[in-house]
């Protein structure tokens, strides 16, 4: 079971842009190998930072409007929002330590 919340074009504003504090969104697709590699890492971080960060997943194939809005051109792209504002991003399947560093920096 995933600890990341699925979000879509229709509820992105409510779930992410109106979320107080840190929200981390994984832009991914089912056919994307690197996306599948990074998914368990994000899941572990969602558990570790429960209460400090909301972790969400957005399938770019079925939610192209939001992906285009944030200029997501390659996946996985992980966007960090603080109080609804885009503050950081990570592109590609990066090591857990690199992702955790971003969580630490922004969840404080």
Active site residue 32: yes
Active site residue 33: no
3-state helix, strand, coil in the chain (%, to 5): 35, 30, 35
Beta bridge partners of 27: 58, 77
Rounded distance, CA 39 to CA 75, Å?
12
Active-site choice (32, 38, 55, 56): 32
Active-site choice (35, 41, 46, 90): 35
3-state DSSP of 16-41: HHCCCCEEEEEEECCCCHHHHHHHHH
* Catalytic center residues: 32, 35
């Amino acid at each position: 079971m995933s600890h990341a919340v699925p979000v879509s074009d229709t509820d992105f504003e409510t779930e992410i842009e109106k979320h107080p504090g840190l929200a981390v969104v994984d832009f991914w697709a089912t056919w994307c190998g690197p996306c599948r590699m990074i998914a368990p890492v994000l899941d572990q971080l969602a558990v570790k930072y429960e209460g400090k960060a909301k972790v969400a997943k957005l399938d770019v194939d079925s939610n192209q409007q939001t992906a285009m809005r944030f200029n997501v051109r390659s996946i996985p792209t992980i966007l960090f929002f603080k109080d609804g504002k885009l503050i950081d991003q990570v592109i590609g399947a990066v090591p857990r330590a690199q992702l955790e560093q971003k969580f630490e920096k922004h969840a404080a």
